[in-house]
Structure 1
């Protein structure tokens, strides 16, 4: 089983925990503290709120999807106290290769689609699955808030900082930047965010090894907040929860600088760094009623603006997308339980 966090429904609420963290100047995010939550306008996972479901739910994968999945999982566990949830941040690839595709977890969260080698590994271990869209993210580039000399970067400048033969000082990126060494904080190579960043920013030039790599996005936030000449990248939720400790850069992909936010991610204007987020339930797990009900609850909550946008910081799914995902899920459940 992956290193994990059990969710206890007897803690403080998500909103209370976020407010407390902000007041203390800490770098926190939704879902990383023990908490209860408000199920919003979705269902309760069983239709009657009886809490009669029981069993474990084991989830690994993307640190980007983690705050959304953990928030929804908290709500479901509060309504069903006999359900035992367990969730960990292993990175999309780490989750697929080490846990999900070898049959050890029920869901794998991912910030990019499953890759061919992961599909092959799942096939070798008879792990069947479906892909569900969770939300839309704006992959966000952050610097220290004291860095008043920078507000935006072009894609080419961003690539020069992160490619395999990366520049070493800020003035090598742009002449009027300071002659100071760049300190980098980013995703580990087991992360879907790492894969997405290479594909959409650096391409064949690859990713530098000269950086602090981690699967914990809050560690990236802490690193950048603690160093005036640092830069990092992660999902928008981690900036959304820490706007006073970090500064988000606008990104210019050819039509002028665009700010990362929910609106530009939803419209596609924040290109190429807006992206879909996913979760993958296994077919075998969907054969268990408590896991099938949680999967339904998860899809119901993907349109919950208060939770997805307001609490976590991602773009909710459209009603049309939700309907499509629910039909895919119901077909899979019928097959798994047939």
Structure 2
């Protein structure tokens, strides 16, 4: 899988060739050549941390949804901490947390909160000092073909029918008057945090006994999902808002009526909390012991939080409100040099 980033505009361009790889790693750092510090960077020193003196390697893996943020941070960090190598990959939220609990990585990207079973798996491996940091807000987006003129707004109950096992087979099963045509569903794979969040909000959230359908096309690659919907007028799918922003000229977002009228997925609606129940937190996880023992990781984490306001919006997600961002800083501040 090859992710190509247009550095002049920070737009994400992900070719279809990505579908053949399950995981990709991007390594930033280790370049001793001279260069200008990006205006995004907070300089060579902040909060008692001298980035230019940091050394080592940082391993990041997990959610493909959070990947663009972590990769952007790693790229900017490499400009001020040239002796630190940051490897950023994605294997899905579940896959990343498994690696985190094995001690294979320093930071786990997640598009949903860690589950109790995952936290217990970490504890069984001697990892009980988990630090959770929210880095952004996402508006999980349901999409249809541009020529779909009927499913402009759907309720959680209707989305449940479209995506649950044993649910609607034809659009007319959801609403009389909708086409008597088979629904073709495209959705993330079961290791994806996006799948987990949708399953919790729409599938079991509407009907505790229901299960997500398995007769559609699952993929960890959003390109596969987008292309499938783009080519089929009767298809429906879902993925993160940032990817929809890049594909909106070829797809149409479905508005969601969570009980107070139809609401479209936008930055403003997700931040205001009106896009329910599909707005969600984006997170990273690390460990207290690693923050104490690895100055490079502490520097990277502080740099991550310091640069969220600019980088999050640039890669297509919603910034945290000031008070929520401060709460994340408060979790890191005790580890900073006094």
Query: Does the TM-score normalized on the shorter chain lie above 0.5?
Result: yes
* Aligned with 1:267 (options 265, 269, 272): 272
**Superposition deviation, residue 40 in structure 1:** 5.1
Match of 2:124 in 1: 124
Q: CA RMSD in A?
A: 3.2
Aligned residues: 320
Residue by residue over 1:7-31, the C-alpha shift from the partner in whole angstroms, topping out at 9 and shown as x without a partner, is 99xx85151654xx59x9999xxx9
Runs of 4+ aligned structure 1 residues displaced above 6 Å come to: 24-27, 31-38
Counterparts in 2 of 1:14 and 1:157: CA distance versus 1, 3 Å: farther
Q: Which moved more, 1:204-213 or 1:34-43?
A: 34-43
Structure 1 distance, partners of 2:226, 2:78, is 28
Matches within 5 A, 1:99-178: 99-127=99-127, 128-178=129-179
Query: Are residues 1:253 and 2:258 paired?
Result: yes
**Superposition deviation, residue 216 in structure 1:** 2.1
Residue by residue over 1:34-80, the C-alpha shift from the partner in whole angstroms, topping out at 9 and shown as x without a partner, is 99999555524644986442322211111221111211121112333
Do the aligned partners of 1:136 and 1:274 also contact (CA within 8 Å) in 2? yes
Task: Report the secondary structure of 1:15's partner residue.
Answer: coil
**Superposition deviation, residue 282 in structure 1:** 2.4
**Superposition deviation, residue 244 in structure 1:** 0.6
Match of 2:7 in 1: 13
Task: Report the secondary structure of 2:247's partner residue.
Answer: coil
Match of 2:42 in 1: 43
Counterparts in 2 of 1:45 and 1:101: CA distance versus 1, 3 Å: farther
Task: Report the secondary structure of 2:120's partner residue.
Answer: helix
Task: Report the secondary structure of 2:238's partner residue.
Answer: strand
Do the aligned partners of 1:45 and 1:76 also contact (CA within 8 Å) in 2? no
Match of 1:324 in 2: 327
Task: Report the secondary structure of 1:79's partner residue.
Answer: coil
Match of 1:290 in 2: 296
Counterparts in 2 of 1:81 and 1:245: CA distance versus 1, 3 Å: farther
Query: Are residues 1:276 and 2:281 paired?
Result: yes
Any gaps of 5 or more consecutive residues in structure 2?
A: 19-23, 30-35
Match of 1:233 in 2: 238
Do the aligned partners of 2:141 and 2:244 also contact (CA within 8 Å) in 1? yes
Match of 1:299 in 2: 305
**Superposition deviation, residue 134 in structure 1:** 0.7
Any gaps of 5 or more consecutive residues in structure 1?
A: none
Task: Report the secondary structure of 2:131's partner residue.
Answer: coil
TM-score (norm 2): 0.84
